[in-house]
A and B are shown apart, each in its own frame.
Chain A
Amino acid sequence: MFLSMNWIRDFVNLDGVDLEDLIHKFTLGTAEVEGFEYVGHQVQHVVVGQILSVQEHPNSKKLHVLSVDGGDRTYQVVCGAPNVAEGLKVPFAKPGGMAGGMSIEARTLAGVLSEGMCCSEKELGISDHHEGLMELPQETPVGTDMKELYEIDDLIFEVDNKSLTNRPDLWGHYGIAREIAALAHRPLKPYPQVDLSVYDALPEVPITVQDTQLVYRYSAMAVENINVTQSPKNMQIRLYRCGMRGINLLADLTNYLMLELGQPMHAFDYQRVSQIEVGHYEQPFTFETLDGKERTIQPETLMIKSKDKPVAVAGIMGGLESEITDDTHSFLLESANFDAVSVRKSSAALGLRTDASMRYEKTLDPEMTVPAIARYLQLLQEIDPGVTVISRLSDCYVKQYPVRSITFDKAYVDRITGIDISEQRIERTLLDLGFTVSHEGKDFVVTVPSWRATKDVSMKADLIEEITRIYGYDNFELKTANLAVRPQAYSPEHQLQSQIKTLLAYRFGAHEVHTYIWNDGKKLAELGLKNEGCLHLVNSVSPDIETIRMEMMPSLLCTAAKNKGYAAQYTIFEIGSVVPGLKEDGLADEQRHLGVLLWGPRQEEEQLLMKAKSMAEALGVLLRGSHFTYQNAAKAQPWQHPYNAFEISAEGRKLGSLAVVHPSVCAKVDKKATAIALELNLEAMCALQRKLPNFEEPSRFPSVVNDVSFMVDEATSYALFERVIQAHPCDVLASYELVSVYRDPQWQGKKSVTIRFVFCSAERTLESEEVAAAVNLYMDAMKEIGAEVTGA
């Protein structure tokens, strides 16, 4: 929003105040000023000139040679404007002056000396009008500096609209002036207006409010005998500098009031609109708004009607049919207050956001409607003294905000601020901002002014903001908090996640990636996979992203597909949210999962699978002291290899899965590649109790190592060997491990498994007979699984 310092100075005397410092204070105390500009600096030594004569230019058809009276002498000026005429008074920039962003000097134009420039409005920076010279009234004295006649000089500053969303009172110059006055410690002038009670004897404008929920207040007055159609130049300049366009006097005045007080207004042609109803229509219909566009109005949209004909979209825009034209002689002035949410929704539904709707959305103060009318009439009567008011103030005040009063004491302010702000300073700040303050014992009792009471200020915490922002946060003394020493709380889940990331990246060389919480439907289709999920976005902008993922792996497979050609072998991982189902209450059963995907050449599939298992083992043993167990999955996922998919569990709890990715999925990316997928549910893993290593004093006696090779069927898993060993406990067996699995094509369905048995006693050196007996025990026992000893 653009603001004019001249306009603000109508309401607060800023003589002697450093304006740039004031703007800085405004940023720190009220709302962010995004920038400011001294306009008019580029206009110097421009006076009222009178064209005494117009002659053809000897060398140009477009140019004329003028003789211009500049007050001090007569100047010869070459001019290209089409509207040059003898006797015309125009702005004249003398040599040595500035206009149109240029320095003006005497120079030769197409061979003729030109001593200065006659200017358009654009060249004076007061409008975009550049079709011809600005024509000044005939009574204007020649030689007068243009800056004495018009507000050419101003300081325009722009406030970030976003920082005003919660301040309905700051959407006009008067509200801003109130803040500036408080920041500069200068008094604010009362808002100028005429006394409307003198018209009380006149008839009412009939107003019927059909929807008493969405209409807070509707005020109106009717006026006739309009003679002036153009608004005064200075008013046009202010509107222009604040980003609006002059239209005609009555419309300009509504805009002027909106920019001055923040109250949107509308003027209807009284010939078409002489009574008002505010309500809805039951069926959608088409309505032509002021901007000449046909719009479909929905039943929810609040409309202004007259004799049941739609005449305006409430709070947003008037209708074209009842618009003010130069022929309008009488008009009905609307000054109303509508429900903020309703205006916002209608504005969104219509795709039409106007200066009016933007303000209504902020929850304006309904107390403003009448002062706005009183000020409008004051300005109108000044500009067009012949007007006649033909109605009394008609005011339908449907919903009124309660007057709010808030009680607090200085101790409360001290506690929240942490500094000492004096009682006098607290009181003065609140008074400056329009609050009333009284005292009850040690308490302040504060009444909130209507313009702050619609939503902004309702409790004592809100008053702290008022007191401190005007005090200035830069003036705060900084202090650390006085806190008791206590152990820092921590979240085991978060710690586990962090440890896993460290292990995978720095121990296993994996790369952490981030993927979206939703499935990438398009990419999954490319991989031949279905886009499945139990939870969907209802308002996604793309149909490809609407299903929330149920597991990590589809996301990682899509990521691998995107990294085609990156490297022959790599590992990626992510810890992310998945929603595999809904809970009984319908809420998402969101789980945090770790997904790891190992990508590599097909011929190294087994090594990759073992590497993935070693990752799982490292996580289990290092982080929880648990060895995981692995079993063939009862049912493989569509993206998993049907036979090489395994379920991971610990302590009887399912933790996740380890699987070779289905070759047809990998083949979509690279026919020679394979991938191994590891997925763990971190909540389940976190629930495992963290076990300490089972420490035993190491034996002082030597251990004896025995490697035994067994020939078994290919299908015999290593787990069977382990089961046999565990079923035959032996005091002197210290440990055992797999040495190798060897296959020879000639063995036909058999493999050789070599296991190393380590024997040791804590009390003595073992006798060789003892060791031999123990080895025999296991060699015999392995017959249970059909293992034949081939070497020992």
Chain B
Amino acid sequence: MKEQIEKVKQQFQSEIAQVSSMDALEAMRVAYLGKKGSVTELLKGLKSLSVDEKKEMGRYINELKAHVSEHIAERGAQLKTELEEARLKADKRYDISLPCQETMGTLHPITIVQRELEAIFSSMGFAVEDFSEVVTEYNNFEAVNIPKHHPARDMQDTYYLDNGQVLKTHTSAAQNAILRKYGAPCRAIFPGRCFRNEALDASHETTFFQMEGMMVDENISISNLIYFMETMLSEVFKKEITVRLRPGFFPFVEPGFELDIQCPFCGGKGCATCKHGGWIELCPCGMIHPRVLEMGGVDPERYTGFAFGLGLTRLAMMQFGIHDIRMLNSGNLKALDQFVMM
């Protein structure tokens, strides 16, 4: 009996080393430990032995059984790892350098710059408003203190429509409506499309974007105006900006200013962008004219405010290095599809 046990053990040990698949391993388990397996058969053979022998042989056989189970389990775990590794090795290797087919949509460069500005002003508590493009002469002119016969009303500048309205020539045309909508106090910006009746060339468009802003409250001062302009423009250009104010005449503000910034591209030394002057005329602004407040239903004795206008189209051209303004309204996708950014 002892030899038989030893023989089975020898055989198991030689076979287990050869097993290379889970199925073969399972077959081995059945061949040794199954109902008719060789270890089970050995146990059955105990019946014919004496009590002492039974005891001794039984111990040997159980040791063998434990040995077989252990090794099958161990080999099983080993095989599983081997197979997994083999599968991974056989898996397809990908070429990550292949281009992906996803087409990126794009926003118009004006929209991109407009959003940046809107985010800056929103963070400072300004509402973002929208205004129509076809406006009344009243809103475009009278309500912002541009009287009849003012040169700005000339036909060569303004597109007149056959129903007596005009295409808005500046975002200031929205001032009256915004003042009426919010009353005082009020903080709002209103980007919008403007129209001028002029010949197209690389730097002149009939259709362009401006962004106007207003802040009205008790005691808004020139000092506040300069502070806000400097803060806002530093955010726009993402660096500390030095501004300077010069007197400027715009009928809807008094006093009115031309705001220059020290050229952010050359630091004021002089470059192509600032036409070698070191300063860039950027933003007309001023204290809202008392008559404009009054026409907007705001008491000019109690409230004061400032207003400013930014050339959105010009900023976008500066930011992206666009040299020909006509590209913006061309609808040319070869140009526009390059503005891939959020």
Contacts and interface: CB of A to CB of B under 8 A. Distances in A.
A582 B107 contact: no
A478 B226 contact: yes
Interface stretch (B43-51, B131-139, B233-241): B131-139
Given A468-B222, A473-B257, A490 B127 contact: yes
A35 to B, nearest CB: 9
B336 A512 contact: yes
B222 A511 contact: no
A166 B249 contact: yes
A133 interface: no
Interface stretch (B8-16, B82-90, B213-221, B262-270): B213-221
Contact of B331 (A361, A505, A563): A563
Interface stretch (B57-65, B71-79, B97-105): B97-105
A443 B66 CA distance: 113
B21 interface: no
B34 interface: no
A536 B226 contact: no
A514 B208 CA distance: 10
B290 A480 contact: no
A175 B220 CA distance: 33
B246 A32 contact: yes
Given A461-B287, A468-B255, A514-B328, A586 B164 contact: yes
A24 to B, nearest CB: 10
Q: Chain A: interface residue count, which band?
A: 35 or more
Contacts of A493: 130
B120 interface: no
A447 interface: no
Nearest to A417: B222
Interface string A536-567: 11111100000010000000001100110011
Nearest to B118: A498
Contact of B226 (A30, A31, A473, A502): A473
Contact of B105 (A488, A510, A539): A510
B110 interface: yes
A478 B227 contact: yes
Interface in B164-183: 164-165, 167, 182
Nearest to B104: A509
A30 B159 CA distance: 32
B333 A587 contact: no
Given A540-B197, A541-B199, A515 B182 contact: no
B334 interface: yes
Prevailing SS type, chain B contact patch: mixed
A706 to B, nearest CB: 36
Nearest to A520: B331
Nearest to A546: B162
Interface in A565-620: 566-567, 570-572, 577, 579, 582, 586-588, 590, 592
Interface string A478-504: 111111101011110110011001101
Nearest to B191: A494
A478 B133 contact: no
Contacts of A464: 222, 254-255, 287
A32 B259 CA distance: 12
Instruction: Classify chain B's interface size.
Output: 35 or more
Contacts of A506: 105, 342
Contacts of B219: 415, 418, 481-482
Contacts of A559: 331
A701 interface: no
Contacts of A478: 223, 226-227, 230
Contacts of B126: 488
Contacts of A163: 246-249, 258
Contacts of A344: 149, 151
A541 B198 CA distance: 8
Given A488-B126, A509-B102, A511-B333, A461 B255 contact: yes
A705 interface: no
Contacts of A459: 254, 290
Nearest to A571: B105
Interface in B201-219: 206-207, 215, 217, 219
Contacts of B118: 498
Nearest to A575: B111
A469 interface: yes
A361 B151 CA distance: 9
Contact of A494 (B128, B217, B246): B128
B336 A515 contact: no
A282 interface: no
A505 B106 contact: yes
Contacts of A461: 254-255, 287, 289-290
B132 A465 contact: no
Contacts of B125: 483, 486, 488
A468 B223 CA distance: 11
A511 B254 contact: no
Contact of A511 (B132, B136, B304, B337): B337
Q: Which of A465, A558, A587 has the most CB of B within 10 A?
A: A465
Nearest to A165: B249
Contacts of B115: 498
B283 interface: no
A690 B155 CA distance: 44
A341 interface: yes
Contact of B111 (A29, A462, A512, A538): A512
Contact of A491 (B127, B134, B246, B333): B127
A416 interface: yes
Chain A CB count within 10 A is highest, among B118, B162, B342, for B162
A30 B247 CA distance: 6
A516 interface: yes
A468 B102 CA distance: 58
A415 B287 contact: no
Nearest to B151: A344
Contact of A536 (B162, B255, B331): B162
Given A478-B223, A541-B197, A562-B331, A511 B130 contact: no
A508 interface: yes
Contacts of B226: 473, 476, 478
Contacts of B328: 514
Contacts of B248: 163
A156 interface: no
A187 to B, nearest CB: 23
Nearest to A32: B246
A426 B329 CA distance: 50
Contacts of A382: none
Contacts of B136: 587
B27 interface: no
A481 B255 contact: no
Contact of B163 (A27, A504, A513, A535): A535
Given A462-B254, A588-B163, A563 B107 contact: no
A479 B332 CA distance: 45
Interface string B16-35: 00000000000000000000
A504 B104 CA distance: 10
A418 B107 contact: no
Interface of B: 102-108, 110-111, 115, 118, 122, 125-130, 132-134, 136, 149, 151, 154-155, 159-165, 167, 182, 185, 187-188, 193, 195, 197, 199, 206-207, 215, 217, 219-224, 226-228, 230-231, 244-249, 254-258, 287, 289-290, 304, 328-334, 336-337, 342
20 contacts: A165-B151, A344-B151, A348-B154, A416-B287, A418-B219, A462-B255, A464-B222, A474-B244, A478-B226, A478-B227, A479-B227, A480-B227, A481-B219, A483-B185, A491-B129, A494-B129, A494-B130, A511-B333, A512-B107, A572-B333
Interface of A: 27-32, 163, 165-167, 341, 344, 348, 361, 415-419, 459, 461-462, 464-465, 468-469, 473-474, 476-484, 486, 488-491, 493-494, 497-498, 501-502, 504-517, 535-541, 548, 558-559, 562-563, 566-567, 570-572, 577, 579, 582, 586-588, 590, 592
Q: Which 5 A-B pairs have the closest CB atoms?
A: A418-B221, A418-B223, A465-B255, A505-B105, A559-B331
